[in-house]
Chain A
Amino acid sequence: MDFIQVPSSYIFYLAAAITFVFLRDRTLRSVLLICVPIIALIQVWNLEIGNHHQVDFFNLQLELMRVDKLSKVFGLIFCLAAFLGNLYAWHVKDVVQQIATLVYTGSAIGAVFAGDLVSLFFYWEGTAIASVFLIWARRTEASYHTGMRYLLIQISSGVILLAGLAVQFHTTGSIAFEKMELSSLSSFLIFISFGIKCAFPLLHNWLQDSYPAATVTGTVILSSFTTKLAIYALARSFAGTEILIYIGAIMTLFPIFFAEIENDLRRVLAYSLNNQLGFMVVGIGVGTELALNGTASHAFAHILYKSLLFMSVGAVLFRTGTSKASELGGLYKTMPLSALCCLIGAASISAFPLFSGFVTKSLIMDATATEHYPVIWCVLVFASAGVLSHSGIKIPYFTFFAHDSGLRPKEAPINMLIAMFITSFLCVFLGVFPDTLYNILPYEVNYKPYTISHVISQLQLLCFALLAFTVIMKLGFHPPEIRAINLDSDWVYRKYLPSIMLRIINRLGSVNESTRSGLENKISSGEQILLNIFGPTANFARVFTNGVMILWIAVIFTGALAIVLF
C-alpha cells in the first residue's frame, strides 16, 4: 500500500493543478473541492504510525510523512474542516479562491505531517501565501491593504522560522522538528515564529485585522487552519514550557473585553478565536498527557464550532451584506435554521453540557487544577464566563434576536445549510459521545466529563452569567452596539510608527512641506526622497555621455590600481 503513504498535501496540490488547468465547469470544480478532502480523510484515517516518505533536498533528508497520534488527530480534523468549508463554499465560482483553498488546506495538512523544520518551513510559507488570496478575493482596496498586512506578518513568521532553523542547523546540524527546550537562540526564534501564527498577545492583531476582511467563505476556511497549525507546532515542540501557561492565560483574558465592544461580528469571532487559542496554549504549557489531550481535543472541537459560528455569521453577511451587530437583529424570523445552528455553535463554544466544548475544555481545566495552578485555573473559569458573554450570547443574540432591524433576508442557500447542519451535528455528537473523540487522542484518556459535580458547577457558572446578562440588559448597562471600531495594538504599526517615521523623514529630507498635508502625503514624501536619489532622472539611473562613463572607469581603475600596487 505505497499509495496510501504519499504526503496528503500532494493530493491537494494535484487537485489545485487540475482545477487550474482543466476544469472550466463550475460544478465539476465544486465537486472536486468536496471530494479531495474526503479522499484525504480516508487516507489519513488509514495511515499507519511511522515515517513514510523521505525526500532528499541538498544534503538534507526531509521527512514528509511523520505519522504519530498527535499529527494524525490534527490531520483528521484538518481534512474534515476542509470538507465542511468546501461544502459551505459550493456556490463560489471564483477559481482563485478555490485554488487558494486547496493549496492552503494542502499546505496546512502537509505541515502537520512534516517531520523536519525545512519542510515545515515550506508548508508554513505555503499556508501564508495561499491564504492571502482568500482575503484578496474580496477585491476591494481595503481587503488588498489588509491582505498585504496579513501577508507581511505571515511571511515574517516564516522568515523567523527559517532563521531559527538555520541557526539550529548551524549549531547542531539537525533539522529535526522535535521537542525542544526554550534555551537557545534557535529555539527562541522558532518559538517566536510559532507565536506569531498562534496569535500570542501583542503578536495577535493580524488575526482580528484579516479575518473580517476575507470573503464569506474565505473566513470559514481561514479560521480552521493557520492558528491550529501553530497550536500543533507548539504542542509538538514546546510541550511543557511553563511560560506558555502564562502567555495562554493572558490570551484567554484580553480578547474578552475587546470582543465585548466590537461591532463587526466576524471580528468578535476572531477575538473569540484568540481567546480559545489561549486555552489550548495553556494546555501545551502544562504539558502533561491530560493537558496535551485537552489541547488536541479542544483544537478538534474548536475547529468545528468556530467554523459553525463563522458559517452562520457568514450566511447572514451573504444575505444581508453586513456583519455589523449595529445593523442586524431579528433575523430569526426569516433565517431560523441559521439561527438554530448559530445557537448550537454558541452553546458548544460556551461549553454547555452535551455540547462539544464542554467535553474538551474541561480536560484543560482539569489539567491545570491537577498540576496546581490555582490562579491560572481561576483565570480560565473567568475566561469561560467571558466566552459565554461574547460568543455565547452576543453573536446569536445581536444577530438573530435583539431589536428588529427590519431586515428580512432569505434563508441561507441550501449548501450552506447542509454544511452547517453537518457541523452542528458533529458538535452535538462529540458532546454526547465524547469517547469517540477521546479514542483518537495522542494519549490514553481516563477522564469522565459527565460527573454530577462538573455538570452542576458548569451549569451554575453559565446560568448565573446568563442571569447577569439579563440583569445588565434590563438595567441598560450593556455597552450598546454602535458603529465604531476599537483600537488594538496594531494601531502601533498602522498609525503610530508611520507618523514617527514621517517625522524623522521630514527632519531628514528637505521636502516642501507646506503643500502637503495628511499622513498619506507624508509617506509619499519618503518615496520622493528615494525617487530623487534613484528615480529615472536621478544620477543613479541617468544615461550619461560616453565621456562621463569613461571618467568613471578611470576613477575605478585608479582605485583598483592603487589597491593592487600598494
Chain B
Amino acid sequence: MEQVYLHFPILQVLIPLLLAPICVLVGRSTFSWLITFFGSVSSLVIAISLLHSVSDGSSISYHIGGWPPPIGIEYVVDSANAFLLVLVSGISTVVLLYARDQIKLEIDEENHTLFYTCYLLCLTGLLGVLITGDVFNVFVFLEISSLSTYVLVAQGAKRDKRALKAAFNYLIMGTVGATFFVIGVGFIYMATGTLNMFDIYERINDLESSRTVRASYAFIVIGMGLKLAMFPMHLWMPGAYTYAPTVVTTFLSATATKVSLYVLIRFTFSVFHFDFNFIEQVFKFLVMPLAIIAMFAMSFVAIFQKDIKRMLAYSSIAQIGYMLLGVSLLSSEGLTATFVNLFNHGITKATLFMSLGVLTLYSGKSFLSDVQGLGKKMPWISASFLIGGLSLVGIPGTAGFISKWLLVQATIEAGVPILALLIILSSLLAIVYIWKVIEHLYFMEPHSELASQKVSFRILIPLWILSISCLYWGFDTSLTVGTSDIAANNLFNNVIKLN
C-alpha cells in the first residue's frame, strides 16, 4: 500500500466500481452526487498520472490477483488508452459538475441515487474496457457500461416517454452487438487457446489462413460496428441520444462510441495483425465505403432535422465516419488523426450537447424553434454553442480544425487525395446544419413569452471549461497530437515496452 501509484491501473476502475454500491447504500441524492463526483475526480487524477507516466511511449502492466499474464487477467496502460482514459474521466467530471442542477429538472427525485449508481457503473465499464488487456474482460466491461447505459437512457422518460422505446431499441441492438463480439472472442479463444491480447498477438501470427480467425474478425467488426454506430448499424443512436437526459447524452456522445472505436482499433492492431490480408480487405471494401457514405448521407440527414439533439446525433454518426476513415487508411498518420479526432470530437460534442441542454433547460424541447433568439437572452451559453459548432465544422483556431487537418494530411500521405476532397466537401455540409442553429439563435426574434432565465455559475463553469478547451486544443496541440502520435506509433509497430 505504500506505493499507491503502482496500483493505479486497478484503482482507475476500482474506485468508481466501489463507489457505485456505496451510492446505493447511502441513498441520498446529494450524497450520491458527491460520491459520484469524488469518484470521477479521482479517476481523472489517476488517469492523468497514468498518462504522464506512459507519455514517453512505455507501458504499464498490472496483474490482477498476482497471476502473471497469460493465465491471469492483465491490465495494460499505454499511451493509446491512457489518452482515452483522460478523455473519459475528464468529460465525466465536467459533465457531473453540471449534472446536479440538470438532473433535478429531468429526473424524479427518488431515482437520483440509482441514476448516479448507473452513471458510476457506466464510467467503470468504459474505463475498464479501455484499460484491460484481456479480450474477455473487454466484453465484461463493455456489458457493464452498456447495461447501465440502457438504464440511463431510459431515465429520459420523465420528459418524453419515447425514451423508453429508444432505450429498448438500444438494448436490443447493444445486446446483438455484444453477442457478435463475444462470439468473435470465443472464436479467437478456439483458435489460439488464450485470452490475453498480447499472447494472442504472438500466437495468431501463423493463423492468418485459419477460417476461425477470419470469421472471428468479421464478428468483432460487426459487433463493435453496432456499438460505435457505424453506418448503417447506427439506427439505435439518434433515438437514444435524442430522448436520453441531457447529462447522459453529453456523456455518452463524448465517450461511449469513442471507447467502442478504441476496442476496434485495439483488436485490429494489438490482437490481430493489421497487415493480415483479410483485415486490409475489410477496411478497404467495407469500412471505408461505409464511412464515406456515413460522412455524406448522415450530414444530409442532419441538415433536414428539426430537432437539434437529433441533428447532433446524426452529425455524430457522420463524424464517426471520419474516424473510421482515418483508421481504414491503416497508416500511422491515419491512426494519429483518428485518435486526435476521438479526443477533439469528444469535447466538441460534449460542448454542443451541454450548451444545447442548458438552452433548452426550461422549454424542455430542443427543436430549432425552441432556441430561436436565445442568442440575446442567453449570450454566454449561445456563445459556447457557437464555439462548439465552429469546432465541429473545423474552423481554424478550434480543436475540430486540428483533427480535420491531420485527417486530410493523412489521406494525402496515403496517396488518396480524393478522400481529402471528400472530407472537405462533407465539412461544408456541417457548416449548413450548424448554421441553421446559429441562425435561429442569433438572427431570429425570441418568442415573447420566454422570459430571460438566469443560469447559475454551476452550469456556466463546466460549460465554459469545455468551450475553452475546444479553443485551447486548437492552439496547443502538443498533448493531443503528441500523445496520439506516440499511441499510433506504438499500435502500428506493436511496441509494448513493459517497464
Contact = CB atoms under 8 A, between A and B. Distances in A.
A530 B304 contact: yes
A541 B301 contact: yes
B185 to A, nearest CB: 16
A531 interface: yes
B282 A563 contact: yes
Contacts of B462: none
Interface in B403-419: 408, 412
A125 B396 contact: yes
B278 A563 contact: yes
Interface string A339-377: 000000000000000000000000000000000000000
Contact of A549 (B221, B236, B297): B236
A556 B211 CA distance: 18
Interface residues of A, number: 33
Given A546-B173, A552-B232, A564-B217, A536 B305 contact: yes
Given A557-B180, A564-B281, A564-B282, A552 B221 contact: no
B173 A534 contact: no
Interface size class of chain B, counting residues whose CB lies under 8 Å from the partner chain: 35 or more
Nearest to A136: B443
A552 B304 contact: no
A538 B236 CA distance: 16
Contacts of A125: 396
Contact of B222 (A58, A535, A557): A557
A339 to B, nearest CB: 38
Nearest to A159: B424
B186 interface: no
A125 B396 CA distance: 9
A531 B306 CA distance: 12
A1 interface: no
Contact of B412 (A166, A536, A540, A550): A166
Contact of B173 (A531, A549, A561): A549
B396 A122 contact: yes
Contacts of A57: 477
A58 B211 CA distance: 44
Nearest to A531: B304
A165 B256 CA distance: 37
A561 B215 contact: yes
Nearest to B408: A166
B233 A534 contact: no
B214 A564 contact: yes
A57 B474 CA distance: 10
B447 to A, nearest CB: 20
Given A170-B412, A549-B233, A560-B282, A541 B215 contact: no
B177 to A, nearest CB: 8
Interface in B230-253: 232-233, 235-236, 238-239
Interface in A20-37: none
A49 interface: no
A373 to B, nearest CB: 40
A123 to B, nearest CB: 10
A534 B176 CA distance: 27
A122 B180 CA distance: 47
Interface string B269-312: 00000000010011001100010000001101101111000000
Given A170-B412, A561-B215, A564-B281, A534 B239 contact: no
Contact of B304 (A536, A544, A561, A564): A536
Nearest to B296: A534
Given A534-B297, A556-B232, A565-B278, 20 more contacts: A58-B477, A121-B396, A166-B412, A531-B304, A533-B300, A534-B300, A535-B304, A540-B300, A541-B238, A541-B305, A543-B169, A546-B172, A549-B236, A552-B233, A552-B235, A556-B286, A557-B218, A560-B221, A560-B222, A564-B215
Interface of A: 57-58, 121-122, 125, 144, 159, 166, 170, 530-531, 533-536, 538, 540-541, 543-544, 546, 549-550, 552-553, 556-557, 559-561, 563-565
Nearest 7 CB-CB pairings of A with B = A534-B300, A560-B218, A564-B214, A541-B301, A564-B218, A535-B304, A557-B222
Interface of B: 169, 172-173, 176, 180, 211, 214-215, 217-219, 221-222, 225-226, 232-233, 235-236, 238-239, 278, 281-282, 285-286, 290, 297-298, 300-301, 303-306, 314, 396-397, 408, 412, 424, 443, 477, 481
21 contacts: A122-B396, A144-B443, A170-B412, A530-B300, A534-B300, A534-B301, A536-B306, A540-B298, A541-B238, A541-B314, A546-B169, A549-B235, A550-B176, A552-B232, A556-B225, A561-B215, A563-B285, A563-B286, A564-B278, A565-B215, A565-B218
